Amino acid sequence: MDLRLSNAEASPAEQEAVAAVLREHGRVTGDEIREHAYFADSGHAARGRRHLLLPALHAVMEEVGWISPGALNHVARVLSVPPADVYGVATFYAMFAVEQRAPDVVHVCDDIACGPRGGEEIAARLTDELGPEGKGDDACWVRSPCLGLCERAPAVLLQRTRRPDVSLAPATAEAVAGELARPVGADTGVAADLPADLAFADTTVSAPQTGGDRVLASGRQGRAGLRLLRRVGLVDPESLDDYRAHGGYTALRRAIEFGPTRVIKEVTDASLTGRGGAAFPTGVKWDGVARAPERPHYLVCNADESEPGTFKDRVLMESDPFGLIEAMTIAGYASGCERGYLYIRGEYPLATRRLQRAIEAARARGYLGDDVLGAGFAFDIELRRGAGAYICGEETALLNSLEGLRGEPRNKPPFPSVKGLFGKPTVINNVETLYNVLEVLAIGGPAFASIGGQRSTGTKLFCVAGAVQTPGVYEVDFGTTLRELLMLAGGVRGELRAVLLGGAAGGFVLPDRLDVPLTLEGTREIGSTLGSGVVLAIDTSADMPGMLRRIAAFFRDESCGQCVPCRVGTVRQEEALARLARGVPLGSRETELALIDDLARVMVDASICGLGQTAPSAVRSALDLGLLDAPMSTNGANSNGASRNGRAT
């Protein structure tokens, strides 16, 4: 039976957009493209095309601005994916639209960093100029969770039809209007990056430690002591030759000299742990996949940096893209992978463009391909874009997304190192972890392990934002105290009330704990976590209850809905905070707070993945520290109870 969503047919433009994706991946010939009769096979061969689903949906969105019923039918037919599955994937991601809307969409960040620093004012202005949220003929605006531009808050992302997306930060309503008025043909070619580049013209903001001759709090000056950030603001991100002139590809050549076994030993001796929050030993991952008899092996770089308050990976990818390509190549070589997938969040247009160019340049010069540097091993990288789903930062949800499924986490075991992408052994590392591999090979594993101590070795990137003088990415040795880090960022503006450590999935630290060493062990002792490296300073003027409610609304929206504890618990948590904000608690305030605590226990104990398990962390931390003792506020959260992306109920 031929199941279809309707009898709708795709337009020629939609058909050509899908054909371009298939052509790029070598799946069709010229005659097949013209006839739109791509495949006659079925079964395993047909299922093997499903991984092209996300690229195909992106292509349709970029061409016509929404995914029509005809386009859904067409994609289902040519990829041999059930129409219901195509619809389920298309409606899972916040950046896809299955109902017709304006060709230009302005995503206004109203999250914990941008909302209080101008995001709400921009939303109000755009309401006056463009109309209510989601409404408009030529352009419309919508609220957005964190866009990863917290150091230059407020931030806006313009998602545009038939021209490149653009990020603006710090954004104003006037700047948004100027971009919307830009003629379609005015930003082609190299100029396509100009609007986004303007947001990063001041490199002292994107990477403060690389700026000028400013003396750092640690006594180091300029770039001295920087490892991961040493090329940021110095190297031309578009030039492979400039990257090589600043030490690029030295680590890969050393890795080839060592051989795969020695490379894994150096990483293991370095005690390098994952920098995404879980802190799993990197050498153990690589060794497990390298020893796996089943082939092929895959490498996946998790660049879906979506934790509110986090932007370190974005800075690295925008400013030093070849570094990530080199590090992925080393990881692939050591673990026996011939193909790597770089999964980048959809809200990072500039990083996406620069990484794609870096991949193409590296491939053209023999640093990727069938015989890397003539060393007799094959490795290549394919860039894949996410589409607005925080849950895809969870490694198994990311794998499902790559395979063309909804981004829902898998039960573990089996772990990805045993059964990962396409059911094969897979290494998954995040961006910061991979950059550290270059330093491990530069100085050796034991020397790397001598920095910091215990499981916290090497340097760590922190995303410092909020009430500090100079927000930005800061690189410090593990063991640096929170107080020293805040001083490095110029100190606190106003009177410090608390610090949100680890992001929305982290917890709060009061001013009397600023001397905590920033290590995995040190933060654990005070009941906190390093998480993704977020350090958000909050002064006494901040709307703390409103911030907590905004965090709860974020997790409500971002829950994939697969398991009941998270799907229901995140909604009930946000509802309880909303009732407190309105001053209408169920029973009494104490009863409501007890309910919130009960919900937290259930989510922590019974959720499938880390999203549900950490969704109550910040709220629970605030309750324990008495930060909710003040009356609740109705500001700072999208309180209409509706999900942005349709995943929550």
Q: Give the span between the Cα atoms of 298 and 341, in whole angstroms.
A: 8
Closest residue by Cα to residue 436 from 271, 288, 208: 271
pLDDT at 648 exceeding the cut of 80: no
Burial class of 615 by CB neighbour count within 10 A (0 to 12, 13 to 18, 19+): buried
When pLDDT is cut at 50, 70 and 90, the band that residue 183 belongs to is confident
Enter the tokens of residue 252.
């890969």
Return the pLDDT at 26: 76
Q: Are strands 337-344 and 496-501 parallel, antiparallel or unpaired?
A: unpaired
SS3 content of the chain, % helix, strand, coil (to 5): 45, 15, 40
Lateral strand order in the sheet of 139-144 = 139-144, 104-109, 156-160, 166-168
Q: What is the pLDDT of residue 54?
A: 97
Express each pLDDT in 439-454 by its tens digit: 999 999 999 999 998 8
Q: How big is the chain, counted in residues?
A: 649
Closest C-alpha to 458, from 482, 433, 429, 489: 433
- For residues 305 and 482, is the Cβ–Cβ distance under 8 A? no
| pLDDT (0 to 100) of residue 580 | 86
**pLDDT class for 601, splitting at 50, 70, 90?**
very high
What residue ranges define each of the domains in the chain, with the CATH number in brackets?
A: 12-90 (no CATH), 104-197 (3.40.30.10), 240-449 (3.40.50.11540), 452-539 (3.10.20.600), 544-625 (1.20.1440.230)
SS (H, E, C) 167-223: EECCCCHHHHHHHHHCCHHHHCHHHHHHHHHHCCCCHHHHCHHHCCCCECCCCCECC
**Which residues are 501's β-sheet partners?**
507, 535
Q: What percent of the chain has pLDDT over 70?
A: 86
The pLDDT-based confidence of 215 (bands split at 50, 70, 90) is very low
Enumerate residues 6+ apart whose C-beta is below 8 A from 403: 50, 51, 421, 422
pLDDT of 28 > 70? The answer is: no
Burial class (CB in 10 A: 0-12, 13-18, 19+), 75: buried
Q: Is 466 left (phi over 0), alpha (psi -120 to 50) or beta?
A: left
Tell me the per-residue pLDDT of 373-387, one tens digit each, with 9 for 90 and over.
999 999 999 999 999
- Of residues 165 and 221, more confidently modeled: 165
pLDDT at 366 exceeding the cut of 80: yes
Q: What is the pLDDT of residue 191?
A: 30
- Tally of CA atoms within 13 A in the half-sphere of 235 that contains its CB: 27
**Residue-level pLDDT at 38:** 52
What band does 27 get if pLDDT is binned at 50, 70 and 90? low
pLDDT in tens, 88-127: 999 999 999 999 999 999 999 999 999 999 999 999 999 9
Task: Give dist(CA 138, CA 436) in Å, integer.
Answer: 45
